[in-house]
Chains A and B, each alone.
Chain A
Amino acid sequence: AQTVTQSQPEMSVQEAETVTLSCTYDTSESNYYLFWYKQPPSRQMILVIRQEAYKQQNATENRFSVNFQKAAKSFSLKISDSQLGDTAMYFCAFSPYGQNFVFGPGTRLSVLP
């Protein structure tokens, strides 16, 4: 079975600091996508960043970047210059080509003023 693990149930960071959320996954597939979604208190799921497994270059989206280590099956999310609006649940998700998503259990991030 394909699984996604997020080993940090809760994290906190001071405003303007940098924080890294970890994600590992287990699969025998070679072609897949990886995603980070954010769920703020409104509970709307928002796409943060997406990575295609065949691309070696790590994806970046403004203050959000990933460290994708395919051999280690690791996909961590780095948030730079943390803002109060970054407070949310963050879900890592994995999707082999043409197959359904598998979501991790989430990490609750609190940005402290």
Chain B
Amino acid sequence: DGGITQSPKYLFRKEGQNVTLSCEQNLNHDAMYWYRQDPGQGLRLIYYSQIVNDFQKGDIAEGYSVSREKKESFPLTVTSAQKNPTAFYLCASSIIGTNTDTQYFGPGTRLTVL
């Protein structure tokens, strides 16, 4: 089945620790995205990547880092510099170069800082 997977579903972190959230897609999509979702708010863009080995900051990149070494993978690291990391994190992907521009989402990871 084609789709986007995120792991783990739930993640607990102690203050001061870095954690990495996984996102994998087998849709052969060019672009991948990371969003943060907080209660009562819409999705906010953290980072995005349109091609392997290249990525751009979104609206709230501070305290986060990413890599894009393979087309199908776009892991997100939440560093200790992120002041309030407890949130729901969503990964998405889309095709570049068509007129659809639709983003498809993974099931998300709930991160809780203890």
Contacts and interface: CB of A to CB of B under 8 A. Distances in A.
Interface residues of A, number: 22
Interface string A72-113: 000000000000000000010001010011011110000000
A31 to B, nearest CB: 10
Interface in A28-80: 33, 35, 37, 42-47, 50, 52
B63 to A, nearest CB: 19
B42 interface: yes
B88 interface: yes
B1 interface: no
A21 interface: no
B102 A105 contact: no
Contacts of A47: 102, 104
Interface residues of B, number: 21
A95 B92 CA distance: 14
Contacts of B100: 50
Interface in B1-59: 33, 40-45, 48, 58
B5 to A, nearest CB: 12
For B42, B45, B58, the residue with the greatest tally of chain A CB atoms inside 10 Å of its CB is: B42
Contact of A100 (B41, B45, B88): B45
Given A42-B107, A104-B42, 8 more contacts: A9-B40, A35-B102, A43-B88, A43-B107, A50-B100, A50-B102, A105-B40, A106-B40
Interface of A: 4, 9, 33, 35, 37, 42-47, 50, 52, 91, 95, 97, 100-101, 103-106
For the complex of A and B, the 10 pairs showing the least CB-CB separation, nearest first, are A103-B42, A45-B105, A103-B43, A105-B42, A44-B107, A43-B108, A33-B101, A104-B42, A95-B101, A100-B45
